[in-house]
């Protein structure tokens, strides 16, 4: 089980804005996507003040320098089924957003895994900033038996129009995939997939040049081996060809992972992820994880080149190359 109850101070207030370079702001597990010309980031943790794992917020930027806090999306006390398992405490983490039919779908993890299995929920809104309305039941609740129901990601295949939910990892380190119905809030069927090499958690799917890229985090979330690896496939459900690690710690940053890929309006690719701002050292790392944004480059064969982590003004903007 991946603990999430680490205090996290966010450098923003409701409706406010702040200037940033890498690292952009405190947070973890960022799901990022472009909505119009703005990059939105949906992280673990609430906006403004320390994180108590009881709500989600969002931030947006038009230049990757000035960020606007978009307020509160949903709180734990608005999700009425959470206490049904009788566990003494619950945390929210790893939000993911999908857009379909002009509506916004927020998928999220509810844990911890013990003493009861973790679950995945979904809430719906008419606007990216919400308010989001929980559907009244967990979407996935069959944790345990080698599977931990965490870290959801939903990918709508541009070829078929089908929506797939990816989830799992950590204690079980097992990947599972389901096809969603058109309502995006119920499961049509589970798709049998292999778990790729070095998979731990934090899966993401994107397509580039007709090839499907399954990327994911490897290692312990607060340790030096946390990193991003990837595999490619001819379809969103495999079969996977493992391609190796693309984002690992360096002399100034440790534990980079739980990421999103985004394609800018000008066609360039970026990776949005969290990391620890420190020199190499043993686990466990303490303090706050920071969200950073860096460039993605593909070679002539479609392989992703290793990511170079940047700081300060060297970090990308929407005008930079």
pLDDT, tens digit, 9 for 90 and up, residues 61-117: 999 999 999 999 999 999 999 999 999 999 999 999 999 999 999 999 999 888 899
Q: 5 lies in a domain?
A: no
Residue 36: closest CA among 271, 266, 319, 265: 265
Q: Can you give the pTM of this predicted structure?
A: 0.94
**Range 39-48 average pLDDT:** 80
Q: Where in the sequence is the domain holding 83, given as residue range(s)?
A: 17-296
**Range 246-267 average pLDDT:** 97
Q: What is the DSSP letter of 137?
A: S
- How far is Cα 139 from Cα 154, in angstroms, rounded to an integer? 12
Q: 4 lies in a domain?
A: no
pLDDT band at residue 320 under the 50/70/90 scheme: low
Beta-bridge partners for 271: 261, 294
CATH of the domain at 104: 2.115.10.20
Query: What pLDDT score was predicted for residue 81?
Result: 97
Collect contacts of 281-285 with beta carbons under 8 A, ≥24 apart: 281/224, 281/254, 282/223, 282/224, 283/220, 283/222, 283/223, 283/224, 284/220, 284/222, 284/223, 285/222, 285/223, 285/254, 285/255
**Range 238-263 average pLDDT:** 98
Q: What is the DSSP letter of 305?
A: P
Query: Mean pLDDT across the chain, nearest whole number?
Result: 91
Q: 249 lies in a domain?
A: yes
Q: 120 lies in a domain?
A: yes
pLDDT tens, position by position, 157-215: 999 999 999 999 987 789 999 999 999 999 999 999 999 999 999 999 999 999 999 99
- How far is Cα 40 from Cα 34, in angstroms, rounded to an integer? 6
Output the DSSP codes for 246-269. Answer: EE---SS-EEEEEEEEEE-TTS-E
pLDDT band at residue 16 under the 50/70/90 scheme: low
pLDDT tens, position by position, 145-159: 789 999 999 999 999
Q: 6 lies in a domain?
A: no
Q: 2 lies in a domain?
A: no
Domain count, the chain: 1
Query: What pLDDT score was predicted for residue 114?
Result: 87
Q: 301 lies in a domain?
A: no
């Amino acid at each position: 089980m991946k603990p999430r109850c680490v205090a996290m101070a966010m450098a923003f207030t409701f409706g406010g804005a702040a200037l940033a370079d890498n690292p952009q702001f405190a947070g973890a597990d960022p799901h990022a996507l472009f909505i119009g010309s703005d990059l939105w980031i949906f992280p673990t943790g609430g906006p403004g003040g320390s994180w108590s794992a009881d709500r989600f917020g969002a931030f947006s930027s038009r230049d990757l320098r000035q960020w606007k806090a978009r307020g509160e999306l949903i709180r734990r006390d608005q999700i009425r089924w959470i206490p049904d398992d009788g566990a003494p405490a619950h945390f929210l983490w790893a939000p993911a957003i999908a857009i379909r039919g002009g509506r916004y779908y927020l998928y999220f993890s509810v844990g911890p895994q013990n003493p009861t299995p973790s679950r995945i929920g979904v809430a719906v809104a008419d606007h990216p900033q919400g308010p989001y309305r929980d559907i009244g039941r967990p979407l996935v609740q069959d944790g345990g038996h080698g599977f931990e129901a965490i870290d959801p990601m939903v990918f709508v295949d541009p070829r078929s129009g089908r929506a797939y939910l990816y989830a799992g990892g950590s204690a079980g380190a097992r990947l599972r995939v389901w096809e969603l119905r058109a309502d995006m809030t119920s499961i049509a069927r589970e798709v049998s997939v292999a778990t790729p090499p070095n998979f731990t958690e934090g899966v993401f799917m994107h397509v580039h040049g007709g090839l499907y890229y399954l990327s994911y985090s490897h290692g312990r979330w607060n340790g030096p081996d946390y990193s991003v690896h990837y595999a490619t496939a001819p379809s969103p459900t495999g079969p996977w060809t493992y391609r190796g690690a693309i984002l690992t710690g360096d002399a100034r940053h440790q534990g980079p992972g739980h990421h999103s890929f985004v394609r800018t309006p000008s066609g360039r690719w970026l990776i949005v992820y969290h990391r620890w701002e420190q020199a190499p050292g043993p686990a466990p790392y303490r303090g706050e994880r920071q969200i950073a944004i860096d460039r993605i480059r593909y070679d002539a064969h479609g392989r992703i080149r290793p990511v170079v982590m940047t700081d300060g003004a060297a970090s990308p903007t929407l005008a930079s190359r």
